[in-house]
A and B are shown apart, each in its own frame.
Chain A
């Protein structure tokens, strides 16, 4: 267990999106589709951020994470290279997705939401579902993980807002068509992506009473139910995403409140972004790697 959290592979998926394969034997062994980790880049002043486990390999004792550069931590993380270590990774956290043969499972994802969807689509496929993946992006350059998701999809629908690839449509359009179809209606819908997309996916399936889940990615600190920072309102009740979720009945989630809470620290983040000195940060991280690798 000594050699933990070493980055063994790093792939740049797009301008701002990276995939890393990281040594994490215990997590690789225990993790199930739908679960996530929390990572931080040092033991002192770093923040803790949740990331979904996008895949795992028990043999090589590794997990995959896919992330988009958004804030301070992901920006620095993207600068780490193969052979570097991530100071802290804890997991697997959260409840696994309820995987069973629903019949026709439709996976609706947008933006970086394709990453957490990967292991779920895979597990749904392996459980015998007919899997339809609807993948949306603003434009062609922002499409990620298309090929990876295609592997598990019986039917694959690509949409872009500007029509630069696939259909010129929002993901909710093909979703609505499926819901209305007589012989191809979903038995279950899973939606992962920007809060607005999840909200409208839920509104699309609501009239049809199709079981719909959304996987939520809130602000988190501990991931064990201790802080309540991850709480969301679901069906009028307080739920903790880290221990009760991350998946909830999308028809019951208060997406508006969740979106507002996600932006709690926006002003401050912009400020940090401005100040941060990447080179110094990386040099510092490398210098402490010896301490954190055992």
Chain B
């Protein structure tokens, strides 16, 4: 399967003269395939699926880059990473320097390299992909990002194992205190940037563990928790303080934080919250879960290890997932790993419109998830005990384009059919966190309940900033980070 073997002759020859290739020759270097765990094997474990490039692969892949002057990839990256620059460093085998280039604009490369939708971002603009008329042949920017980040982390870990956390200085250069609410990617970035400016930073998190969706949403097989913990540990080493089990608005209000506890600025990064439901009959039957609940049980509460975990997973053999985004894929693939025999993914539009990352869809298919596209649930069927026994669906076809430019799915009359299943997981998106509206009325929200911010991420309350999914609605890790960056800059400016 691995291209490096298939094309080994070409490759060996090219490698000897990698530094002196013309653009045309570079385009002939074979795309380096990501080494993967075997689909059958991985169905029954939660270990990471994509194993990462070898050093040799990374060097070869990096040499596919043409070092374009006007680098369309940089423009297509939400935080404008200097992509050709870091790729160039890889060709020179200067991996730490490559990471430094990325970290100028992205502090979590090991995470973004794994979860960013590169095919719609940086790689969508790549000249190589365009010339070869195949987006799958674009330079593997994400894979390279992951390679250098992992390389760097392993080196740092070896070095740092000796650092004693008790020796970390928690004293601050300034007398200013900043509260960071939530511990997802937006908050991680704010905490790092504000702390580096010398202020005292405390992260307040509602859950008992840190990392936000990176921890409780995105599964281990896609993003090993060790990586998230490493990033949190880095914050600790910077002297950032943490308080878990703290629900902003409930345990303490915004007012109390600022007036009683003396925080000079607050960043709110509490994520999207509230799962949407379909409002169809049977949705509260036993065995129907939101993807948030299902994934939190499996990930955060370690439900994937039913031998040990105290949090139970519902005993189901045939599971239907509703939705077509990353969350739906994660739920479906988790269900496979938890031993479901049949996993259906029910999505209203066609494969082409599916919002999930292409790679996740591919992996889900390889792992045996059965895709039921162009259909949608009409009702969930239950027995006398109100336990799920089936789902009635309607077939759909694509009609006119809607405002989003996607063709609107239209139900086909009398096309009902029923699937026998015993559990349903609903993954059709999230609405804004309901606690903000209830507890912090001084913040201006939009009609969907998301916090309104100015260009610099400041909210309607002075020195209170917000970013990530609570501002944008459910979005992406990189966008959350980007907003964290902006907010941190504004906080550091406001506290000057």
Give the interface of A toward B (CB within 8 A): 1, 26-27, 30, 40, 43-48, 72-73, 87-93, 95, 221-229, 231-233, 238, 240, 243-244, 254, 256-257, 260-261, 263-265, 267-269, 272
Contact = CB atoms under 8 A, between A and B. Distances in A.
Nearest to B310: A47
A225 B435 CA distance: 8
A225 B296 contact: no
B311 interface: yes
Contact of A27 (B251, B284, B310): B251
Contact of A47 (B206, B207, B301, B315): B301
Nearest to B300: A221
Interface stretch (B271-279, B331-339, B486-494): B271-279
A interface SS class: mixed
A228 B434 contact: no
B250 A30 contact: yes
Contact of A269 (B297, B312, B435): B312
B286 A260 contact: yes
Contact of A88 (B245, B301, B314, B315): B245
Interface in B413-443: 433-435, 438
Contact of A222 (B207, B286, B387): B207
Nearest to B287: A264
Contacts of B297: 221
Interface in B79-138: none
Nearest to B274: A225
B250 A93 contact: yes
A141 to B, nearest CB: 29
B283 interface: yes
Interface string B284-311: 1111011011001100011001001111
B251 A233 contact: no
A243 B438 contact: yes
Contacts of B312: 47, 265, 268-269, 272
B431 to A, nearest CB: 9
Contact of B310 (A72, A92, A228): A72
Contacts of B209: 43
Nearest to A266: B312
Contact of A224 (B293, B302, B313, B433): B433
A90 B233 CA distance: 23
A45 B309 contact: yes
Interface in B200-258: 206-209, 243-247, 250-252
Most buried by B among A40, A221, A272: A221
A257 B386 contact: yes
Contacts of A91: 247, 250-251
Contacts, number: 131
The 3 residue pairs across chains A and B that have the minimum distance between CB atoms: A227-B293, A90-B245, A228-B290
Nearest to A260: B386
Interface residues of B, number: 47
Interface string B449-476: 0000000000000000000000000000
Contacts of B243: 1
B111 to A, nearest CB: 20
Given A26-B252, A46-B310, A73-B310, A224 B286 contact: no
A238 B251 contact: no
B385 interface: yes
A92 B251 contact: yes
B283 A238 contact: yes
30 contacts: A26-B246, A26-B251, A26-B252, A30-B252, A45-B301, A47-B301, A47-B310, A47-B312, A90-B206, A90-B245, A91-B247, A93-B247, A221-B297, A222-B207, A224-B206, A225-B274, A226-B273, A226-B275, A227-B292, A227-B293, A227-B296, A228-B292, A229-B289, A229-B293, A231-B284, A232-B284, A260-B285, A264-B287, A264-B314, A268-B312
Tell me which of B287, B292, B310, B386 has the highest count of chain A C-beta atoms within 10 A of its own C-beta: B310
A128 B247 CA distance: 32
Contacts of A46: 310
A97 to B, nearest CB: 15
B294 to A, nearest CB: 9
B310 A268 contact: no
Contacts of A256: 386
Given A93-B250, A260-B286, 14 more contacts: A30-B252, A43-B208, A45-B302, A47-B312, A222-B296, A225-B274, A225-B434, A226-B273, A226-B433, A227-B293, A231-B284, A243-B438, A261-B284, A264-B287
A185 B433 CA distance: 41
Contacts of B311: 45, 47-48, 221
B315 A268 contact: yes
Contacts of A232: 284
A95 to B, nearest CB: 8
Contacts of B273: 224-226
Given A89-B245, A92-B250, A268-B312, A225 B286 contact: no
B61 to A, nearest CB: 38
A90 B208 contact: yes
Contact of B247 (A1, A87, A223): A223
B308 A45 contact: yes
Contacts of B247: 90-91, 93, 223-224
Given A224-B206, A233-B284, A265 B314 contact: yes
